[in-house]
Amino acid sequence: MLERLGIPMVHSPGAGYSIVDGFRLLPARFTEGEVLSVMIAEKIMHSHETESVRRNFEQVLTKIKSSFHSHQKHEIMHLQDKLIIKEKFDAKDYVPNIMDTLLKSSVNKKLAQILYKNAQGEKPNLRTVEPIGVFSENGNWYLLAYCHFRCDYRNFRLDRIKKLHVLEKYFEKDHPSVNELNDHYHSRYSTEITINVERKYAHFLSFERDNFGYVNEVITGENVLMYFNCKSHPTSFVRWFLRFIDVGEIIQPTHLKEELSVIMKTGMARMGQHNNCSL
């Protein structure tokens, strides 16, 4: 039976059968998709809360990696900085189907075309991009890529990519890793913000506050103090908070309180002009 499988056997009278000395079993054959899945699983489990589960998984993973071909080991090393998962793994986390395609495009340095719908809900437009990697932040998955239309690095939410096509064209530029670009972006903005919100309305902010660097909150009687470390442009926080201006206020920093006041006054003036025109 073993000989039929290509394993050379020898027979020694009185000793039985044995495998030819020096013969080695070939490593298990893993597809490119399976290698990608192992890497994604490793990233997710690295953030697992339970140390024993994380440690056991690392031991299993070491055994799996030992079965990889040399070129697959080389490939997975180059994939390490192509995927970042910042949040702790939760069962509801969803890995989009296009992730493996984007990772392959990044590793192979192939251009990709995406049909992308922005946050304003405008008609999707076609972008040619140089995929750099994929990361998870604030509950969403993003593609980090060099955009030919903007001539700059941009983040694209995967659930807003309506179509994806990998071109048979290569890009030559060696881009920084996802980690380096994210660190550079976040270092530009880091604003500590404190707001005060009426307690009975505070839960309405919970749906999106993580997107603006929510840290924690303190209940003080009928109010809730919320603390943020906002890594986005502070104006984006102000315009988000504008929706809750009737039930809360920005405590600090002062310049954001002033910016909010200017936006409100400008809006009221615009409404006044519109009403006068209607009369």
The average pLDDT across 126-131 equals 95
CA angle 217, 222, 224 (to 5 degrees): 15
This prediction's pTM: 0.52
DSSP 30: -
C-alpha 225/C-alpha 197 separation (Å) is 7
C-alpha 108/C-alpha 102 separation (Å) is 10
Dump pLDDT digits (tens) for 243-273.
999 999 999 999 999 999 999 999 888 887 7
Q: What CATH number labels 189-278?
A: 3.30.70
Q: Looking at the chain, which residues constitute the CATH 3.30.70 domain(s)?
A: 189-278
Which range (99-113, 159-173, 179-193) has the least confidence?
Answer: 179-193
Contact 58/100 with Cβ under 8 angstroms? Answer: no
How does residue 95 score in pLDDT terms, banded at 50, 70 and 90? very low
Residue 202's SS3 state is helix
Contact 254/192 with Cβ under 8 angstroms? Answer: no
